[in-house]
């Protein structure tokens, strides 16, 4: 079902397309703020889109932080393309890209109401911690972490 899907670096045109169809990718309103140009200009090497026949099916914006963690800032899959393993593939590619740049682990955060994100990260073997006061905006956050094993090419391996 994911035949013909190609993973490549994100572009500014991709971010513009995503912003124009933001409701296709996110359940919560107000997620536009995640899609800053710096994920192309500064972190383009580790920000990936999944495309089929010029349609963006999913994307992951992320980078390696100074502590050597691959931080996933945003990941989303177009609603009709969910459940096909696309986000799993995006994480596998991101893991390869950040390991090649010195990362030894992965981290992502989300709001506690995002049960789909929690299930997804648990399925990929991430630990989950509820952290009060994580953000200056109200509410706790779920923090997901996992190690990147040496020699692994896929975080699911
Ligand atoms: C979370 C999200 C990115 C998952 O994308 P996806 O491509 O559907 O995920 P995958 O098909 O790669 O799922 C991998 C595994 O995670 C689990 N999983 C994913 N989404 C799940 C859900 N909503 N409920 C339960 N399990 C889920 C499944 O076990 C799946 O494995 P399997 O079906 O092969 O057994 C997608 O639901 C999404 O875009 N949500 C809106 C944006 C968002 O909230 N992003 C996360 C912010 S941190």
What are 95-130's pLDDT values in tens digits? 999 999 999 999 999 999 999 999 999 999 999 999
Distance CA 151, CA 157 (A): 10
Please, is 95 exposed, middle or buried when counting C-beta atoms within 10 Å of its C-beta (0-12, 13-18, 19+)? buried
Distance 152 CA to ligand 1 centre (A): 22
Looking at every residue in the chain, the average pLDDT score rounds to 94
pTM comes to: 0.95
Do 47 and 61 form a contact (C-beta atoms < 8 A)? yes
CA-proximal residue: ligand 1, atom 48 (nearest) = 110
The Å distance, Cα 49 to ligand 1 centre, comes to: 16
List all residues whose CB is within 6 A of at least one atom of ligand 1.
25-27, 75-77, 82-88, 108, 110, 114, 116-117, 119-120, 123
Sign of CA dihedral 94, 92, 68, 77: positive
């Amino acid at each position: 079902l994911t035949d013909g899907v190609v993973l490549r670096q994100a572009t500014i045109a991709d971010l513009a397309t995503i912003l124009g169809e933001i409701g296709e990718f996110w359940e919560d309103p107000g997620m536009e703020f995640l899609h800053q140009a710096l994920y192309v200009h500064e972190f383009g090497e580790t920000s990936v889109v999944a495309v089929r026949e010029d349609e963006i099916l999913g994307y992951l914006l992320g980078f390696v932080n100074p502590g050597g963690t691959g931080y996933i800032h945003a990941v989303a899959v177009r609603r009709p393309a969910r459940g096909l393993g696309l986000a799993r593939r995006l994480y596998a590619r991101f893991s390869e890209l950040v390991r090649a740049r010195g990362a030894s682990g992965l981290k992502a955060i989300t709001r506690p109401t995002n049960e789909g994100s929690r299930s997804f990260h648990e399925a990929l073997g991430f630990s989950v911690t509820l952290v009060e006061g994580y953000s200056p905006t109200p509410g706790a956050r779920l923090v997901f972490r996992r190690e990147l094993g040496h020699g692994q090419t896929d975080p699911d391996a």
